[in-house]
């Protein structure tokens, strides 16, 4: 890989303002750059850039997002640190994935590499939803570029799931509550269990423990 390429790539990405819903310019840039690097590039209906190289196994997906939250931050370099909107979340990871693919190819790597830059990750994730709705590739490995605070591959990270619980029990007469299970008490036990899990995770417990 030519000297200084990773930094130049990142700076180019940061200079393009690309909040969710306004990814057209950065999509065009990524398409041109990935084609220049030897990838077969396509842009889908929602604006995702999908770049493929090679055939066979292993089949590896390298996925990042090209959009950022809103708000402009002047791109600048101070020593070895680069500042700009998306410098952390997540144009640096996207640039790293592209550079990793480039180096793998240059060093004679085998198999199939797919670099996917999705839109709207900071919004409603319509880019990833669209990709998954039509994806038929059986990938052997998938690496997603997101900031984690770890200088290594991260196998699990925080997320959010919205659920609705309905606690139902058989009702009984108020004169004999001991004969029936109270739905409120059942719900309280569930909440207490979730609190225990949260406290355990906060203390460094097993993030993959099944509730």
Residues with active-site annotation: 67, 121
| C-alpha triplet 83, 86, 87: angle, nearest 5° | 35
Nearest to 27 by CA among 6, 53, 48, 51: 48
Q: At what angle do helices 91-106 and 5-15 cross, to 10 degrees?
A: 140
| C-alpha triplet 188, 194, 197: angle, nearest 5° | 145
CB neighbours of 136 closer than 8 A, spacing ≥ 6?
none
Report the SS3 class of residue 43: strand
């Amino acid at each position: 890989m030519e000297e200084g390429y990773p930094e130049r790539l990142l700076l180019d990405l940061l200079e393009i303002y690309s909040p969710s819903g306004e990814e057209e310019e950065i999509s065009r840039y990524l398409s041109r750059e990935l084609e220049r690097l030897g990838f077969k590039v396509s842009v889908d209906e929602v604006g995702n850039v999908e770049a493929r190289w090679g055939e066979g196994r292993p089949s590896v997906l390298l996925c990042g997002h090209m959009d950022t939250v809103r708000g402009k931050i002047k791109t600048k370099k101070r020593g070895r640190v680069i500042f700009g909107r998306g410098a952390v979340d997540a144009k640096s990871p996207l640039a790293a994935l592209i550079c990793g693919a480039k180096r793998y190819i240059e060093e004679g790597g085998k198999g199939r590499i797919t670099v996917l830059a999705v839109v709207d990750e900071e919004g409603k994730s319509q880019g990833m939803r669209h990709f998954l709705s039509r994806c038929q590739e059986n990938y052997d490995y998938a690496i997603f570029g997101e900031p984690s605070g770890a200088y290594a591959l991260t196998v699990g990270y925080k997320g959010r799931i919205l659920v609705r619980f309905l606690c139902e029990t058989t009702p009984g007469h108020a004169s004999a509550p001991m004969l029936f299970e109270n739905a409120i008490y059942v719900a309280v036990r569930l909440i207490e269990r979730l609190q225990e899990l949260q406290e355990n995770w906060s203390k460094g417990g097993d993030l993959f423990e099944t509730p």
